[in-house]
A = this chain, B = another copy of it.
């Protein structure tokens, strides 16, 4: 049998849909960020505060990924932002195919930014491109300062690291979290990563994150 060299990479179904998503978002001038973290790092709380604080300035929609329940989509909708819930029923990450379907249900013409809140998992979601403009990794200070060293892939691939719940440091409740270690370990993996220490609860540090987001908007 003759050997056929097709001369290009055969795309997986996920890669095919990731490209479609990227094209669809670009057609509408919408930016898309894929938020990845451990369960309970505060992704939804961060999104709720970001949407409220940028109301009137930036039009935001959200795709929520959860194994069970639509608790998170309900929290987003309480801000009046549109939210589509994907329930994975056990799957440990979102796929580009699932996101493609959700993107059809959002009115992209009205959205400058689409956030995808992935399933809470610091490992698996980092391996699946969804067609996003960038990954945002969230790390709560309560998780400890050894996480970039122990879970390097997502820190290596993200455009932004949000170090959340810094109000716990100020409260003196956590004394063994070394922010400088986190920054150094993350930059060793990814020298271009932007790092914003924030508290979605108190609002501390959120301004720098908002400035970064506004700088990503498509020029109109």
Give residues in A with beta carbon < 8 Å to B.
38-41, 66-69, 71, 90, 92, 119-124, 140, 142-144, 146-147, 149-153, 165, 167-168, 171-174
Beta-carbon contact of A40 and B120 below 8 Å? no
Choose one: B40, B66, B90, B121; the contact of A143 (CB below 8 Å). B40
Indicate whether A71 sits within 8 Å of B151 (C-beta atoms), given known contacts A92-B123, A173-B173.
Answer: no
Beta-carbon contact of B38 and A92 below 8 Å? no
Beta-carbon contact of B39 and A147 below 8 Å? yes
Beta-carbon contact of B121 and A122 below 8 Å? yes
Please report whether the interface of chain A is mostly helix, strand, loop or mixed according to DSSP. loop
User: For the complex formed by this chain, how many copies does it contain in all?
Assistant: 2
Instruction: Report the bound CA distance from A140 to B168 in whole Å.
Output: 14
Beta-carbon contact of B38 and A151 below 8 Å? no
What is the CB-to-nearest-CB distance from A71 to chain B, in angstroms, rounded to a whole number? Answer: 6
Leading 3 A-B pairs by shortest Cβ distance: A40-B143, A142-B142, A173-B173
Beta-carbon contact of B120 and A38 below 8 Å? yes
Choose one: B67, B123, B153, B172; the contact of A171 (CB below 8 Å). B172
Beta-carbon contact of A168 and B142 below 8 Å? yes
What is the CB-to-nearest-CB distance from A126 to chain B, in angstroms, rounded to a whole number? Answer: 9
Instruction: Report the bound CA distance from A165 to B177 in whole Å.
Output: 14
Choose one: B120, B149, B167; the contact of A150 (CB below 8 Å). B120
| Residue among A40, A120, A142 facing the most chain B CB atoms (10 A cut-off) | A40
Indicate whether A68 sits within 8 Å of B142 (C-beta atoms), given known contacts A121-B123, A171-B173, A173-B173.
Answer: no
Indicate whether A92 sits within 8 Å of B90 (C-beta atoms), given known contacts A67-B123, A171-B172.
Answer: no
